Amino acid sequence: MDALVTIAALAYSWRFTICCALAASLCVALVGAFPSLHAVWLIYLAATGAAVGILWQGRHMNGMSSLDEAPEPAISKPVAALALPFFGLIVVSIIANLSDSLIAAACGNFVLVILYFAWAKLGKGRDIRIQDILFVVFFMAVIPALIAGTIANNL
């Protein structure tokens, strides 16, 4: 009975299932082609596949096609204060893995924040307040840099 429920859930969310299966297949193929490939890259690839599947499935469940522009959600400051350090830590870990330097990772995270605000102002034409910039820099760049530095010093 559990197998039938699992099969029904996978069939219902087939967009998510396809993305996860493709990411897992790509991970297996990359390990076969490059046996010395670090496991962290495979985790990033699998997480990216799951994220794409979640977005695709969520857009379908809300009645949107893949090309429809999504409305801008209103995100509260407490939710952003919880989500930005998590996203910043992911970015810091990817850059630190690439460069083997936490300083380069922290600087890269600051550059990504600056590029985001430049894109939001120039590309999207949004009004940007200095409070928004300071909020995002603190929660996405400063806190993850402090956490990553603390973890690195304790290893």
**pLDDT by residue (tens digit) across 32-47?**
888 887 777 788 888 8
What's the total number of domains in the chain? 2
In a domain, 137, yes or no: yes
Residues 96 and 129 in one domain: yes
Residues 81 and 128 in one domain: yes
**Lowest pLDDT segment from 8-12, 109-113, 128-132, 140-144:** 8-12
In a domain, 70, yes or no: no
- 18 pLDDT more than 80: yes
pTM of this structure: 0.56
Residues 90 and 118 in one domain: yes
In a domain, 120, yes or no: yes
The residue from 37, 61, 85 where one domain ends is 61
In a domain, 6, yes or no: yes
Please name the residue that has the structure tokens 């600087």.
Answer: 107
Residues 6 and 50 in one domain: yes
In a domain, 45, yes or no: yes
The pLDDT value recorded for residue 14 is 85
In a domain, 121, yes or no: yes
The pLDDT value recorded for residue 155 is 62
Find how far residue 45's CA is from the centre of its chain: 11
Residues 45 and 88 in one domain: no
**pLDDT by residue (tens digit) across 108-126?**
888 888 888 888 778 777 7
Taking CB atoms within 8 Å and a gap of at least 24, the contacts of 58-62 are 60/15
For the chain, give the percent of residues with pLDDT over 90.
Answer: 2
Q: Which domain holds residue 141?
A: 77-154
**pLDDT by residue (tens digit) across 72-95?**
667 677 777 777 788 888 777 788
23, 54 in Cβ contact below 8 A?
no
Residues 93 and 49 in one domain: no
